[in-house]
Structure 1
Amino acid sequence: MNKNKAKMILEKDFKVAEIDKRIYGSFVEHLGRAVYGGIYEPNHPEADENGFRQDVIEMVKELQVPLVRYPGGNFVSGYNWEDGVGPVAGRPRRLDLAWRTTETNEIGTNEFMQWAKLTNSEVNMAVNLGTRGIDAARNLVEYCNHPSGSFYSDLRISHGYKEPHKIKTWCLGNEMDGPWQIGHKTADEYGRIAAEAAKVMKWVDPSIELVACGSSHRNMPTFAEWEATVLDHTYDHVEFISLHQYYGNRDNDVANYLARSLEMDDFIRSVISIADYIKAKKRSKKKINLAFDEWNVWYHSHESDKLIEPWSVAPPQLEDHYNFEDALLVGCMLITMLKHADRLKIACLAQLVNVIAPIMTEENGKAWKQTIFYPFMHTSVFGRGVALNPIISSPKYDSKDFTDVPKLESSAVYNEENEELTIFAVNRDLEAGLLLECDIRNFEGYKVVEHIVLENDDLKQTNSAQATPVAPHTNGDAAFDNGIVTAFLPKLSWNVIRLAK
C-alpha cells in the first residue's frame, strides 16, 4: 500500500449497533466555576430571570447534549441534597472537602432541573454513597420522581415544583475505589451499599436505570478485581458499570499522545469482558452495559490548581485551556466510543462549562468555544443513527507506548431515516496528508454534501474569548464517483465527511 493512502469499506449491513444518544452526554459538578460563573451568573447581562447565562445555554444546545451528570463527581460524596432545596435564603453554606472550597447551595436539584430543561437535556443524577447511604438515596428518588402524597414528594411540591422531575438515570456514588474520595470504600463495602441502595431506589421508582461505580481509571491498583467484585454484588440491580479516564501530553510526545485512544479501546474491551465473566458466573440472561461517565483531556491546569486559596467560593479550578492536539485526541476518543456502540450506551464528557470543558466563560464577559468543542459537536450532531463497522487498511506507526498505531482513525454512522452517511476521520500522521479511498458502493444515489476539516499548523494553538484560530472549515475535497469516496485528509486533522441521498 502507498504509505500515504488508506482504504475503507462501508456496508449498510456491517452494523455495530444503534447509537444511544446518551453517549453524547456531559457533566456539571459543583466544582470551580462550572455552576457559579458558568451556567449561573445572575448579574451577567445575558442572565435570564433565574440567573442562568443564556449565551451558555445556546452553546450547550449547539452541542445537542442529551444527558448531563450532576452534581458530581467527588463533590457528591460529601453532599447533603437537602441543603440545595427549599428557600434559597435558608440554605446553609458548607465546606466542600472534595475541592476545599465553600459551597453556597444557591443552586441545587430543582434549579439544575430547570436549567437542564432549557438546554433540552435529561439529568443523570448521582447519589451520595460516601458520607451518606441508602436512606438519603431513596429519599432523593422520592423527592424527584414520586408524583405526590408522600413526605418527600409533597416537600418538592411545597418548594414550587408540582410535577415530578422523572429522572431516569442515576449514579450510585462516584469513584468509591479512590482513597481521595470522601467515604472511600473497599470493593465489597461499596458493592454491598450500592446493591442495597439500588434495591430501595427501584422500590420507590421501578422505571429508573442505575450506574454502579467502576474504577476511577484503568491504572488503579484494584482495576478489574474492583469491577468483578462490585458487579458480583450489584449485577441483578443495575444496568451499567462506569468507566473514567483522562489523558494528557505531559512529556510532549504527540505521536504517543494521539495513540492514547487505543488504550481507551482496550479499557472498554476489558470492562466488557469482566461484565460478561460475572454474567457467566451468575448464569444470567441479563447484559450489563457501559457508562463512560467521565472522559476527557485533563492536565494543563494541575499546577495552577495548587495555588487556589482554600475555602473560597467558586474559584477557577481545573480550567484547562485546550490546544489543537487535544481536539485531535478528543476526536479519536469519540470514534473509539462509536466502535463500541453495542455496549457503551452512556458517556459524559467531563465537564461542560469552565471545568475541563468545551465551553468557557468570562465573568461578566463572553462565552467562547474551546478547540475540543468542535469534534464533540460534530459527532453529537451528525453521529446519530447506526454505528457501522468499517473495514480499514491504513499505514501504521509505532510510538513509545504503542505499536501498530493506524494513521487513519475512523468510524462511520448511517442514519437510515434521514438517508445520511457520515464518516468521522482523524489523520494521525505528523508529517503528511493521507489519501482516503472509501468504498460505499451499496449506498446508491448518495453524494458528498460537506467535508468539514479541523486543522492547524500549530499543535499548541488555543482559542480564547478574543479569537478562535482553531475552528473548522468546509473546504475539504471529498468527492464521490462510481461507488468510491476519495478525500485528502491533511496531516494531523479531524475530518467529517457527510453524504446524503
Structure 2
Amino acid sequence: MVKASVTVSADFVLSDIDRRIFGNFIEQMGRQVYGGIWEPGHPTADEHGFRHDVIELVRELGVTIVRYPGGNILSGYNWKDGIGPREQRPRTLDLSRYVIETHKIGTNEFIDWCKVVGTEPMLAINLESQGFQSALDYVEYCNHKGGSKWSDLRIEHGYAEPHKVKVWCLGNEPDGWWQIGAHSAETYGRLAAETAKAIKWIDPDTQLTLAPSAARGMPHYGEWERIVLEDAFDYVDFICPHMYFKNDHNDTAEYLAWADQMDGYIKEIVAMCDAVAGKRRSTKRIMVSFDEWNIGARWPIEEKKAPRGKWPERLPLIEESYTVEDMLLIGGAMQALLNNADRVKVACFAQLVNCIAPIMTVDGGPAWRQTIFWPLSLASKYGHGQVLRQVVDSPSYSAKTWHDVPYLLSTVMHDASTGQTVVIAANRHLAEEMDLTVNLKGLGASRGVVETHELANPDLKAVNSVDHPDNIVPRKLDSVSVDGEVLKAKLKPASWNVIAIR
C-alpha cells in the first residue's frame, strides 16, 4: 500500500477561486453546433432550435463561461456573416475543415443560448484575416448601448440591450501555419496592442486575452511570448495558452503525468509574463486564461477535414470516445488549473458537444455523458471559496518525459461562507491502494463527511456509450473517516476522488 499525506492550514491560502476556471469552448466544427447545441425538430428543441437535453447536461457540467466561435474556424470567420435575418446570411467556405458554413447560428444566437444555459459568453476576434477595424466594429455591435452605426444595427436585429461581453480573445494561435493570415510575433504583437488599446476606449470594462505560441513545442516558444508581451503588456489582461494531451505509446503512467506537464507549462508561461513585468518595473500581473485544453484527437489528420472539393454543409468530425484512463487525466489536469488558481482565472475545456467532448448526442435521439464529464462536473460543483496551499508527502515515479511524478495529486479547497472543505485526491499508482492522511489545521474539529465521490474502474479502457451511458459513473467512497482535524481515506489504484466535509 502507498502511504501519502497532505497538510493544509486555514491561515495559508493560495487564492480565491475564479469560477470562470470551469469554462468550455464551442465552435462550428463537426456536429458541435449543428446537431449538438442546435437541432430544430429534435423532441427536446425549443422555439429557437436549442436542444434542451443538451442544455440540461451543460448545466449539470457546471460550465461558467463559453468561448466562441473558435478555434481554427476563427482565422477565416467574418462575424458580420452571422448576424441579421437568417435567410439573408451568406453561405461561405470554412477553409479550416473544407465545409460550407451556413451561418444559421451566429453571435446573437450564441448569446441567446448562453442566457438559456446560464453561462457567460467569451467572444474571439479574428485578427488574422479580418484585422483591426472588424474587431472594433464587433465590440461596438455587442457592447455599446446605442446611438452608433454598429450598436444601432444590433438594436435593429432585435437586441435593444447590449450583450455586455466582458472577455474577448485577440485571435487564435496566430503563429500556426494552419491559420489563414498567420503572423510573426512582431506583426501580431503590434496588431494586438493597437486593437486592445482601442477596444478599451470603446468599453473599458472588457478583459482581453493575448495569444502565446500555439503550443509549448513551437520552435519560437519563449521568444514569441517575450515579443508580444513587450508590445501589448499595458493593454491586455490574460495570456491564453493551449495544451492537448496524447497517449501515443499506450503508456498509462506516462499519460497521467501530462497533468504535471500542464502544471509546469502554467508556471513557465507565468514566469515569462512576470519577466516582462519586471523589465518594465511594473506591479501589473498578467493572468492566465487557459482557453483550450483537452486530450488531442486520436484520429488521422485526413479524418479531421472533409475531402477537398466536396464542401458538405455538416460533417461529423473527431467524435472521440473517452476511457477511464482519459477520465483520470482530465481530473488531474483540472487539478493543475485549480492548484494554480492564483494565476489561472479563466479556463475553457475544448470542446463541449460531440467533437472531443464530454457530451455526446444522436441526431434526433438521446444525449449522454462521456467518462470525462464527471471530473469536470464534480470540480465545478465543489470548486467554491479558496484553494489552500499544501505540503504534500508522496512517493513518486518517473515517466519518460516527466520525472518525480507523485502518486498522489491533491487539491484542497475551503469555502468560509459554508464551512465546507473539499479534498480532491487522485491515486496515480496503477496497482496499489493509497493510505491517505490529510491534516486540516485550523479548519475545525469534529467535522463530518458530507459527500464522497469515487471515479475508478479496473478496466482503464472502459467507456460510456449511447447504449451504456452509465457504465462509468461516480460511486460513494466508503473508506473515509474524520477525527478532529485529521481526515483518513483509502483510495483505489488509478482513482480520482472527491471528499467534502463540513
Taking structure 2 as the reference length, the TM-score comes to: 0.97
Q: Which residue of 1 aligns with 2:474?
A: 472
Alpha-carbon distance in structure 1 between the residues aligned to 2:442 and 2:302: 53
Q: Secondary structure at the match of 1:74?
A: coil
- Work out the percentage of aligned pairs sharing the same amino acid: 46
Find the aligned partners of 2:49 and 2:88 in 1 and give their Cα distance: 18
**Alignment partner, residue 368 of structure 2:** 368
Kept in 1: contact 2:62–2:380 (CA 8 A): yes
* Residue 485 of structure 2: aligned partner: 483
**8 Å CA contact 2:11, 2:442 repeated in 1:** no
- Matched to 1:410, the amino acid is S
Superposed displacement of residue 282, structure 1: 1.3
Q: How does 1:149-168 map to 2 (within 5 A)?
A: 149-168=147-166
2 CA distance for matches of 1:315 and 1:27? 19
Answer yes or no: is the 8 Å Cα contact 1:175–1:215 preserved in 2.
yes
Secondary structure (helix, strand or coil) at the match of 1:473 reads coil
**Using the alignment, how far apart are the partners of 1:302 and 1:379 within structure 2?**
31
Moved over 6 A (4+): none
SS in 1 for 2:74: helix
Tell me the equivalent position of 1:78: 76
Q: What is residue 97 of structure 2 aligned with on the other side?
A: 99
Aligned to 1:10, the other structure's residue is in SS state: strand
Match of 1:55 in 2: 53
Letter of the 1:65 partner, please give it.
V
Asked whether the equivalents of residues 337 and 344 of structure 1 are also in contact (C-alpha less than 8 Å), the reply is yes
Distance 2:324 2:307 in 1: 31
- Cα 1:177–1:100, aligned 2, differ >3 Å: closer, same or farther? same
Task: State how 1:312-323 maps to structure 2 within 5 Å.
Answer: 312-323=312-323
Q: How does 1:452-471 map to 2 (within 5 A)?
A: 452-467=453-468, 468-471=470-473
Q: CA deviation at 1:307?
A: 7.2
SS of the residue 2:326 aligns to: helix
What's the Cα RMSD here?
A: 1.2
Asked if structure 2 preserves the Cα contact closer than 8 Å seen for 1:177 and 1:215, the reply is: yes
Contact 1:300 1:321 in 2 (8 A): no
**C-alpha separation in 1, matches of 2:377 and 2:4:** 25
1:359 and 2:386 equivalent?
Answer: no
Residues 328-353 of structure 1 show CA distances to partners (whole Å, capped at 9, x for unaligned) of 00011011111111111111000111
Checking the alignment, whether the CA contact within 8 Å between 2:17 and 2:387 is kept in structure 1 is yes
Alpha-carbon separation, structure 2, partners of 1:201 and 1:164: 15
Residue 205 of structure 1: aligned partner? 203
- Please list the CA deviations of residues 424-456 of structure 1 after superposition, one character each: whole Å capped at 9, or x if unmatched: 111100111101011114221421112210111
One-letter code aligned to 2:454: V
AA of the residue aligned to 1:67: I
| SS across alignment from 1:277 | helix
Q: Give the 5 Å matches for 1:24-423.
A: 24-302=22-300, 305=303, 308-310=306-308, 311-423=311-423
Q: Counterpart amino acid of 2:318?
A: L
Q: Structure 2 counterpart of 1:482, which letter?
A: G
Q: Check conservation: 1:301, 1:317, Cα contact below 8 A.
A: no
Taking a change above 3 Å as real, the CA distance of residues 288 and 486 of structure 1, as seen in their structure-2 partners, is same
Point out the more displaced range, 38-47 or 279-288: 279-288
* 1:193 Cα offset (Å): 0.7
Offset of residue 373 of structure 1: 0.3
| Distance in structure 2 (CA, Å) of the matches to 1:32 and 1:300 | 16
Q: How far apart in 2 are the matches of 1:196 and 1:183?
A: 18
Distance 1:207 1:306 in 2: 38
Against the structure 1 CA distance between its residues 53 and 306, is the aligned structure 2 distance closer, same or farther, given a 3 Å change threshold?
closer
Contact 1:298 1:320 in 2 (8 A): no
Which stretch shows the higher mean deviation, 378-387 or 436-445? 436-445
Rate the CA distance shift 1:323–1:235 in 2: closer, same or farther, 3 A.
same
> Does the 8 A contact of 2:10 with 2:441 survive in 1?
no
Give the corresponding residue for 2:450.
449
Question: Which digits, 9 at most, give the CA deviation of each residue in 1:302-333, with x for residues without a partner?
Answer: 36725744421221112111111001000110
Contact 1:6 1:436 in 2 (8 A): yes
> Secondary structure, in 3 states, of the residue corresponding to 2:58?
helix
1:11-65 per-residue CA deviation (whole Å, 9 max, x = no partner) reads: 1112110011111010011111111000000021110000000000001111121
1:341 maps to a residue whose letter is: A
Closer, same or farther: CA 306–287 of 1 in aligned 2, 3 Å: closer
Q: Is the 8 A contact 1:385 1:415 kept in 2?
A: yes
Q: TM-score, normalised by structure 1?
A: 0.98
Deviation at 1:483, TM superposition (A): 2.1
**Rounded Cα–Cα distance in structure 1 between residues aligned with 2:235 and 2:305:** 43
Structure 2 residue identity aligned to 1:418: T
Aligned residue pairs total 498
1:477/1:349 CA distance change after superposition, 3 Å? same
Shift of 1:234: 0.3
3-state SS of paired residue (2:436): strand
**Amino acid paired to 1:495:** N
Whichever residue aligns with residue 85 of structure 1, its letter is: I
Residue 452 of structure 1 aligns to a residue in which SS?
A: strand
Note if contact 1:448-1:497 (Cα within 8 Å) is conserved in structure 2.
yes
Matched, 1:439 2:439: yes
How far apart are residue 300 of structure 1 and its match? 2.6
State the shift of 1:372 in Å. 0.5
> How far did residue 299 of structure 1 move?
2.7
**Partner SS state of residue 35, structure 2:** coil
Q: Which amino acid counterpart does residue 281 of structure 1 have in structure 2?
A: K
Q: Distance in 2 between matches of 1:292 and 1:407?
A: 25
The SS at the match of 1:77 is helix
Distance 1:75 1:279, change over 3 A: same
Unpaired segments of 5 or more residues in structure 1? none
CA distance in 2, matches of 1:307, 1:90: 27
Question: 2 CA distance for matches of 1:47 and 1:289?
Answer: 38
- The aligned counterpart of 2:494 is 492
Contact 1:148 1:154 in 2 (8 A): yes
Distance in 2, matches of 1:12 and 1:302, equals 49
